[in-house]
Amino acid sequence: MAVVSWKEILLLTGLVVGCFWNSLSCGFVFDDVSAILDNKDLRPSTPLRNLFLNDFWGTPMSEERSHKSYRPLTVLTFRLNYLFSELNAASYHLLNLVLHAVVCVLFLRVCRLFLDKTSSLVAALLFAVHPIHTEAVTGVVGRAELLSSIFLLAAFLAYTKSTGVDRSIVWAPIALTVVLVAAATLCKEQGITVVGICCIHEVFVAQGFTLPSLLETLRQVLRGKGWFPYAVLQTLMKLIVLTISTLLLVIIRVQVIQSQLPVFTRFDNPAAVSPTPTRQMTFNYLLPVNAWLLLNPSELCCDWTMGTIPLVESLLDLRNMTTLLFYTCLALLAHHSLCYRHGSAKTVVMALSLIVLPFIPASNLFFPVGFVVAERVLYVPSMGFCVLFAHGFKIISQKGQLKRISWLILGVLLTTHAVKTFNRNWDWESEYTLFTSALKVNKNNAKLWNNVGHALEGQNNYGEALQYFLQATRVQPDDIGAHMNVGRTYKNLNRSKEAEEAYLVAKSLMPQVIPGKKYATRVAPNHLNVYINLANLIRANESRLEEADQLYRQAISMRPDFKQAYISRGELLLKMNKLTEARDAYLHALELDRSNADLWYNLAIVNIEMKDPSEALKNFNHALELNSRHKLALFNSALLMQESGEPKFWPEANRRFLAYVEEEPDDANGYFNLGMLAMDANENPAAERWMRKAISLQAGFRSALFNLALLYSQSKRETEALPVLDELLRHHPQHIKGLILKGDILMNHKKETSGAKACFQRILDIDPTNVQGKHNLCVVYFEERDLLRAERCLEETLAMAPHEEYVRRHLSIVRGKIAAMNAAGQPLTSTEGASLAAAEAKAARAQEQAESQEEGRGADAGGQDRDKKNVRKSSAESGGVGVDPSESLGSSPSDKRTKE
């Protein structure tokens, strides 16, 4: 038995690299998005044990919406990719290329067991370049096929060494085989079929039985005319060990999926829900369809679901002849391989075992799967096809007159396949190129029209995307998902009326109530989103909030484990101020998923609305324990600590704001709140630095500009405050507190009473009822020695605010001064008298400042409250952070929203 030489390894590797190197420039497309981009199991923050609790897509196996595809070893390799290169697609494609090269070398090694050196190399070369493999190699999720194939071939090679030179059993290779079978199965479910391949090899190749001789031996034993030969007993013992091991793996696998099959829609596999005999005729017809793809891979398609292959609904359908021809050819090959002992029969039987057994799980013949045809599942069956081709090539090339022609045909075939593979790889460059290439092959698949629409939608090309979604509804009028896509696109185009109509069409296509039957077994989880989308649309109308809530409750009644429905309903209930019900909705969602940081965050927002800051902080901390970089939880928990006014929280609040600005370096709000925190701690240089940073990121940042000016004023740097206030008033000319502070500085420090007077008059133009502006204007009149006007002004101010003691006190001072000057016969415009009165008025205002500072945080020298922008940041589905340029002056947070 010849081994594989280094030259052959280099040849195969070079051929693989030549055919697939352009796959390195491809991105994550189709199923890669769910398996890689959206799969949290790849992230280092996710515990490793989750890989063995979740399915291939990161969904817990215990959830009904799980796909039940259990491939933890494959996900582990994705996680290793992420560890070294995060989401750099090239590294994922590179590893796939390397794994395909390894499979080719192992396949050559297997072929050497029952083909000569030349024929086995021909089989390996054809396998290396076959275009059917582009989905398995260029599509990142195809790694499941590659890894499973490596362990499958390794298990088979190990098993072939289980017979010693004296035909005794060698148990170590059998034990290794069982381990490798388990590994193959943990990469992809079809890996377990290698046990059947080993059994075929043991009986018909290693022991040399034919089907007639095997039946004759069994008949003799049953008649009592003999017993099994020793070689047969040894074979039985090995097969029993393999069978028991297989059964254990199957039992474990059934336990993992909790005895539940995944839920597929009739759009995924229309024949699976068709009546007899349509179902049987269609599934059997799919076998020659797959065989034709191996023979002639000229038209390849990434998705064969929906209407790609019309149902075979009649016995008179000519496609039944194709099925009959396929089974005839298969029967002839089986007869040739099972009824004779020569070497050709052994080669054919192994080729058939490689074709048939690994394909059985995907054949739909024994249980339905979520697809009609999938090119990647032909990866292992193509090995048997390549063996058959190489064996046929050997037979033809041995005929003298056909030798040259056969080699010429082989060269042309390998060249055309290699070119086809290379060109096919470019289709996987992006989702748009992939799905448009598929539409060239088949225009009757609504899913392809939908996916091209999704690709255009991802480029924000909503107008063109809408045309593809509408075409999907024409191709498949009962496709719920297509109508949902139309509705969502109309919504993105701000055409709410059309969006609602599309959602209502999708809703009308949902299954109706069947007494005694669970909804969950009949409804695809993603289709239930029609209730969520429709509710999210209509809730924009304040008069339809109850209607939206009814839709959320309907979705929950149809699938009680529908986590997103609880989340969306919780947000709506929060908007309706039904805080207790909102909290209960989030608690229900947490029962389904306690590892969701967004849920803990949303619950914390509800706690804030319920005036329970301690519970809110606790839930923010839960979110940060699950995701230490959760931006919204960092920001809002720090804001909560800051608003508490307790200095013991300030260091941690400062740390969280710093962590937030590290995640969001361009968000001015983070720096502004760091500045506010520094002002609380009297760290003026740091406060100035952070405020300046916020202003540089957001020109005209109202709160930052005002508080920076206030900081300068409190630090006796009034001349530096004035330019900041000028910039504030340039952007926000009606900023009353800025006008008050500027007027105060001009009057008290610059002695520019005319400028101060203009500021205070501007305030009264904006708000004639503003007591502080009116009072300060009265002080200006006093400074201008116009005591009578000051008196009238203060009387008007007192009428506006009869309970303000400082106004009454100032009026009394002015009246007393007027009376004293009248009694002394002094003119009311006396400079001396006015200065004295001004001093008394300033003293009174200083007293007001002290009172204001006792009552509230951060009053300025003129009794001004600090202008604070404490915006509660909201959590959105997209994970983005919205910045509201308005501010809430010393008030409670203004934007409290939960995750949509």
pLDDT tens track for 258-278: 656 665 666 777 878 788 899
Last residue of a domain, one of 488, 509, 530: 509
Residues spanned by the domain of 362: 277-399
Binning pLDDT at 50, 70 and 90, where does residue 519 land?
low
Q: Are residues 192 and 162 in the same domain?
A: yes
Which pLDDT tens digit goes with each residue over 149-206?
Answer: 999 999 999 999 988 777 778 889 999 999 999 999 999 989 999 999 999 998 888 8
Asked whether residue 89 falls in the same domain as residue 209, the answer is yes
Among 464, 489, 509, identify where a domain stops: 509
Average pLDDT over residues 560-575: 90
Mean pLDDT of 272-289: 90
CA dist., res. 585 & res. 567, Å (int): 7
Q: At what angle do helices 529-538 and 545-558 cross, to 10 degrees?
A: 170
The percent of residues in the chain predicted with pLDDT above 90, rounded, is 62
Query: Residues 452, 311: one domain?
Result: no
Average pLDDT of span 286-311: 90
Q: Cα separation of 817 and 204, whole Å?
A: 123
Shared domain check, 233 and 108: yes
HSE, side-chain direction, 13 A CA sphere, residue 65: 18
**Is omega for the bond preceding 277 within 30 degrees of 0, making it cis?**
yes
What was the pLDDT predicted at 64? 65
Indicate whether 825 pLDDT > 80: no
The Cα 653–Cα 632 span in angstroms is: 13
Scanning 559-667, the segments in alpha helix (DSSP H) are 563-575, 579-592, 597-609, 613-626, 631-644, 650-663
Both tokens of 271, joined, read 């024949």
Residues 192 and 285 in one domain: no
813-839 average pLDDT score: 66
SS3 at position 54: strand
Does 171 map to a domain?
yes
Q: Is 659 a member of any domain?
A: no
> How many helical (H) and strand (E) elements, i.e. helices and strands, does the chain have?
39, 0
Does 574 fall in a domain? Answer: no
Mean pLDDT of the chain: 85
pLDDT over threshold 50, residue 569: yes
Q: Per-residue confidence at 255, pLDDT binned at 50, 70, 90?
A: confident
Among 87-91, 98-102, 462-466, 872-876, the range scoring the smallest mean pLDDT is 872-876
- Are 251 and 302 contained in the same domain? no
13 and 135 assigned to the same domain: yes
The SS3 of residue 445 is: coil
So what's the pLDDT on residue 2?
Answer: 58
Residue 700 lies in a domain: no
Q: Which two tokens stand for residue 20?
A: 């697939």
Q: Are residues 26 and 136 in the same domain?
A: yes
Angle at 756 between CA 751 and CA 759, to 5 degrees: 165
Least confident of 46-50, 606-610, 838-842, 881-885: 881-885
The single-letter DSSP state of residue 201 is I
Q: Exposed/middle/buried for 214, CB within 10 Å: 0-12, 13-18, 19+?
A: middle
Q: Ramachandran region of residue 801, left (φ > 0), alpha (ψ -120 to 50) or beta?
A: beta
Residue 85 lies in a domain: yes
As a whole number, mean pLDDT of residues 653-666 equals 95
Please give the Cα distance from 888 to 271 (Å, whole number). 60
Tally of structural domains, the chain: 3
Q: Which residue(s) pair with 60 in the sheet?
A: 54
Cα–Cα distance, 646 to 337 (Å, whole number): 85
Residue 83 tokens read as 């560890």
pLDDT reported for residue 513: 57
Give the Cα separation of 345 and 210 in Å (integer): 9
Confidence of residue 468 (pLDDT cuts 50, 70, 90): very high
pLDDT level of residue 222 (50, 70, 90 thresholds): confident
Q: What is the pLDDT of residue 514?
A: 57
Region of poorest pLDDT, from 32-46, 538-552, 846-860: 846-860
Residue 288 is assigned to a structural domain of this protein: yes
If asked whether residues 171 and 238 sit together in one domain, one would say yes
Do residues 791 and 818 lie in contact, with contact meaning Cβ atoms separated by under 8 Å? yes
Q: Are residues 216 and 145 in the same domain?
A: yes
Report the C-alpha gap between 567 and 557 in whole angstroms: 15
Half-sphere exposure of 239 (CA within 13 A, CB side): 17
CA distance 275 to 313: 9
Residues 338 and 193 grouped into a single domain: no
DSSP 8-state secondary structure symbol assigned to residue 36: I
**DSSP state at residue 113:** T
Stretch among 256-270, 470-484, 510-524 having the lowest mean pLDDT: 510-524
Last residue of a domain, one of 380, 399, 418: 399
Decide if pLDDT at 472 tops 50. Answer: yes
pLDDT tens by residue, 842-864: 444 434 333 333 322 322 323 33
CA distances from 25 to 77, 445, 655, 731, 793 (A): 20, 28, 40, 48, 77
Average pLDDT over residues 40-53: 89
Nearest alpha carbon to residue 465 among 487, 442, 438, 497: 487
Q: Is the pLDDT of residue 896 over 70?
A: no
- Secondary structure letter of residue 339 according to DSSP: S
Q: What are phi and psi of 13, to 5 degrees?
A: -65, -45
Of 122-131, 216-225, 552-561, which one has max mean pLDDT? Answer: 122-131
503: domain CATH number is: 1.25.40.10
Return the structure tokens found at 165.
């030179």
Assigned domain for 832 exists = no
167 or 695, greater pLDDT: 695
When pLDDT is averaged across residues 727-744 and rounded to a whole number, the result is 94
CA 70 to chain centre: 19
| Domain annotation covers residue 199 | yes
Model confidence at 837: pLDDT above 90: no
Same domain membership, residue 246 and residue 299:
no
